[in-house]
Structure 1
Amino acid sequence: MLNTIIVDDEEFARSSLYFLLQEHCEGIHISGIAKSVAEARTLLKNNAIDLIFLDIAMPGENGFELIPDVREYHSHVIFTTAYDQYALRAIKANALDYLLKPIDIDELKVAVEKAEKYISLNKMENSRADRLQNLAQNLAEKTEIRKISLPNGQGYSLVSIDDIIHIAADSNYSVFHLSNGDTITVSKVLKEYEELLPDHQFVRIHKSSILNLNYLKEYNSKNGMEVILKNGEKIAVSRRRASEFAEKIKSYTRIHGDQ
């Protein structure tokens, strides 16, 4: 649902648009109605508004004077006016659409559908940007990460990184093997966790394996290099990662001694 406000100084125009939206646009939730730009500012300040149906020619401040506030609160505008000479200026104000009064029902439906698609995509992009920003922050502080949240199908499991024995790739999924014997399968590729987890403790030993060095018991090269974990599991080390693995072992040993 798009949280929407109607801004128009004419009572008939406000009520007409309200009933058209209620009757023909299921995806619209009308959060308020304003008779002026000043009232619209108050609604924007106190509500999360996705979409504004905004009249242009109003006494006092005209609709264009609300645009800075629209941008500040990340809302979007469909202009409604009886005067088509404003069309070019509406385009420059980045309006989603421009409807002439009396408003045609079909044109209104098209405008709302366009707004729903645009705003939904915009929210997805903002959400993606937020996730990337959070990931970047985690990467910058990855030596400090001690817990990660993993989606478990019903919610999220908060897992201490010290409880992760190893992570195995399964196509586009990552399977976490935990010290209590549980496994959690996550719909993310192994690369994301390779970048996220602290590299002094975790090492990619194969295209399909990340190992927590705290659980390493021994490693050998009897049948190609492999590691043996404290729980008895054996995992292959790929040739291309063998030298990197050896360097990690040296660094890990210097930090942890003979633990």
Structure 2
Amino acid sequence: MFSALILDDEAPARKFLHGLLAEHCTQLSAFFLAGDIPTAARLLQENEIDILFLDVNLGTETGFDLLQQGTGRHQALIFVTAHEEFSLKAIKARAIDYLLKPIDIDELLLAVDKATGFLKSTRPAPVAQTPASDTGKQQVIVNHDDGFELFDQSRILFAEAEGSYTAFYLEGAQKIIASRQLGSYETLLASPFFFRSHKSYIINLRHLKGYSSKNGYTALLSEGYEVPVSRRKLSLFLELSKKLGS
């Protein structure tokens, strides 16, 4: 069981998020609510808190100001804000996720799953990274119903949710069905190349070949694959794509 701190200067927003988490996230057992940074800092000092839900705009301060005090090093960070322009700064702060208001319940549940997965790092993980090989490639082990598969992380084109399973699409038209949900793998794939473009997809930006908005927002990948990009993730996707291509 895990505890959570909600930092938002608007009381209705704090209570609304608290209500969603209390109703839908049974893995969270304790909640602390703060309307400003001094209160949040005091709560963190007095209690063992696992996950931080931080708003960005706090009047004259921001959620990042709390992190500058040395807080958040051992917690999982999730930003919940109406301001999408701070998403890259959140990534640099090693945030688990960046959720835009109004809150999408599916995205919130996925973010909490990622956070708790990160916090369970001392427990057996569904994907294990192996030491880099002589060629400098990072390898991963993916468990499936018949055993496991070991392959270079760079070979992953994208991963797709298939119910309670995950399908990994690799170079060479290879497909591997893993016996865990997609959210279990997100924090274990190395950034900045792996990006959650949609609630059902993680793409490898190293294989990005283009982008199209002709039939919805779509990332064009190697070997002719087309993967959707959600409206909420589009701005960050375009910004990261330009950054990686520069």
Q: Specify the TM-score bucket, using the shorter chain as the normaliser.
A: 0.3 to 0.5
Structure with more contact order per residue of length (Cα contacts < 8 Å, sep ≥ 6): 2
Looking at secondary structure, tell me which structure has more helix per residue.
1
Looking at secondary structure, tell me which structure has more strand per residue.
2
TM-score of the superposition, structure 2-length normalised? 0.48
Greater Rg by CA: 1
